[in-house]
């Protein structure tokens, strides 16, 4: 599931393959940009901003993409068979003489002036993996609406950018609070602890292909405390982990699709469940 760490790693791989190289192939398979052609232009950089990807090309042009739940970018050496999915799922092809980047199932793909990138990402809060990371501002944003449930506030990219469904459940568990607790009822120091833990975990996972939030010996231990572990014993107290499905909030920018929430009913008591 793409979250801020996954998107950062994707940007790193795309930058390594494309930046500083001339495009010999440029194909956007979306009606709005089907005729766009940037072949002959040099890719300047690829950066992540929260869950957004910005591929900057000479001439002041940026290709903005977002993975949401199912999208991915794959990089293949020139001439190698593409394996990211069937051809009808391909939305973008960016090729240099050495490598080809192929975007699959991208729900957001648009060309814009680099000077206008703010129209795509200007609404985001501090980026957990970006140069603008500011834990004080992130904690203030997280608690700005006291009645808002914690899990919903964590997913809102306007508060802090990069947290997705996995980290929503894991962070609440690590803080020993319910995902449905109103942020105004969080104990003193917990908002600051939450954003600090989020930053630490995303930094630790940004170069890994498998996300891990647990600590200690890794050979046999689960990688995650609660996410995806419905019915299995809590790693703290042994109680069965529970799951509830909730619809996306509009602020999560993926509304209309249910997302699971995982929690321990003993370590994170909540009268709602």
Catalogue the active-site residues: 2-3, 51, 259
User: Would you give the DSSP letter of residue 22?
Assistant: B
Nearest to 168 by CA among 183, 150, 186: 150
Q: Which 3 state secondary structure label does DSSP give 25?
A: strand
Those residues with Cβ within 8 angstroms of residue 38's Cβ, 6 or more apart along the chain or in another chain: 23, 26, 57, 59, 61
Q: Please state the length of the chain.
A: 273
CA distance 203 to 129: 7
Q: Which two tokens stand for residue 223?
A: 């990688």
Q: Which two tokens stand for residue 175?
A: 């803080």
CA distance 142 to 184: 10
DSSP assignment of 229-255: -TTSBPTTT-PBPEEEEEEPPGGGT-T
Those residues with Cβ within 8 angstroms of residue 233's Cβ, 6 or more apart along the chain or in another chain: 239, 240, 241
Those residues with Cβ within 8 angstroms of residue 27's Cβ, 6 or more apart along the chain or in another chain: 92, 93
């Amino acid at each position: 599931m793409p979250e801020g760490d996954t998107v950062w790693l994707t940007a790193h791989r795309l930058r390594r393959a494309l930046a500083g190289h001339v495009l010999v192939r440029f194909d956007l398979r979306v009606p709005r940009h089907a005729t766009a052609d940037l072949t002959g232009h040099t890719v300047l950089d690829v950066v992540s901003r929260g869950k957004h990807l910005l591929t900057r090309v000479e001439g002041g042009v940026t290709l903005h993409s977002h993975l949401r739940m199912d999208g991915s970018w794959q990089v293949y050496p020139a001439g190698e068979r593409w394996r990211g999915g069937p051809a009808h799922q391909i939305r973008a092809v960016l090729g240099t003489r050495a490598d080809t980047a192929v975007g699959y199932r991208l729900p957001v793909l648009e060309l814009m002036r680099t000077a206008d990138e703010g129209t795509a990402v200007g609404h985001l809060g501090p980026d957990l993996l970006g140069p603008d990371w500011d834990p004080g501002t992130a904690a203030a944003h997280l608690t700005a609406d006291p009645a808002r449930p914690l899990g919903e506030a964590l997913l809102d990219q306007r508060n802090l950018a990069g947290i997705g469904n996995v980290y929503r459940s894991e962070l609440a568990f690590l803080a020993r609070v319910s995902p449905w607790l109103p942020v105004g009822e969080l104990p003193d120091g917990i908002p600051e602890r939450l954003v600090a833990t989020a930053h630490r975990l995303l930094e630790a996972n940004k170069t890994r292909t498998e996300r891990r939030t647990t600590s200690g010996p890794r050979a046999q231990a689960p990688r995650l405390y609660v996410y995806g572990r419905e019915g299995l014993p809590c790693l703290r107290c042994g109680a069965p982990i529970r799951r509830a499905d909730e619809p996306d909030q509009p602020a999560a920018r993926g509304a209309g699709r249910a997302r699971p929430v995982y929690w321990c009913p003993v370590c994170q008591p909540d009268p709602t469940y």
